[in-house]
Amino acid sequence: MKKLMLGFAATAALFGAGSVLAGGKPVVAVIEFRNESGAAWWSGGVGWELAGLVSNELAATGDFKVLERSKIEAVLSEQNLAASGRVAAGTGAKIGKLTGAQYLIAGTVTAYEEDTASTGGGVSFKGISLGGNKSNAYLAVDLRVINATTGELDFVRTVEGNAKSGGMSIGISRGGFGGALGKQQKTPAGKAIRAAIIEITDYLNCVMVQKDGCVAEYDAKESRRREKTKGALDLDD
């Protein structure tokens, strides 16, 4: 038992030292996103592109120390997790120890919808006719924050992004899309992705750094989302 307690103490000291080196900022690693939706824009490499966009946004806040992809991808490959994007029970702590991360941030795109209704030369959306093509996009991401010391999930949240073509552009504060997502820069899908990434960043900053009244606001938002989902399920029955 004494040896076990000493082991826990050594692990705590290791991660505590990392926190001091980061100036008290949470040390995070954003791993490859997964896709469980029917999104047509998803292709090889998009999972890491989304992880990179979230990493850039978190780093831009100045409140996190974000590990580079190259550092975490090698460890994930060794753990045979890079292809699936999964973190099996008990491996989160091991990956965290190998990379120096205190938290692993994982995301799964669970839903994507894009609707366009056309009437002659224009479109009709919720009874309003407009000239030309117009569509709206909805994106849902299941977000998980894994404590790299305990291997447990510290935060779990479904984050949503909504956008309409021709509507207000929601820009990522540090750079735009590239790679496989480059073609989505100005599409409803791209705007929904941007909205979701900004929401992810704001949420993580709230619960991991600020830890103030914003938490209650996000809890209220989550309650509204759940009620809305229940309502949609009732209509389907």
Domains identified in the chain and CATH numbers: 24-209 (3.40.50.10610)
Distance CA 105, CA 32 (A): 9
Placement of tokens 């809890």 in the chain: 219
Query: Residue 171 pLDDT > 50, yes or no?
Result: no
Q: How confident is the prediction for the chain on average, in pLDDT?
A: 76
% of the chain at pLDDT higher than 70: 66
The answer to whether 72 and 99 have CB atoms below 8 angstroms apart is yes
Name the amino acid, one letter, at 25: K
DSSP 180: G
Rg of the chain (C-alpha set):
20
- Note if the pTM is more than 0.85: no
Per-residue pLDDT tens for 50-82? 999 999 999 999 999 999 998 888 777 766 554
Mean pLDDT of all residues in 195-218: 94
Per-residue pLDDT tens for 33-45? 999 998 999 988 8
Distance CA 112, CA 42 (A): 10
DSSP string, 20-43: HHTTT--EEEEPPPEE-S--TT--
The residues facing 65 across adjacent strands are 27
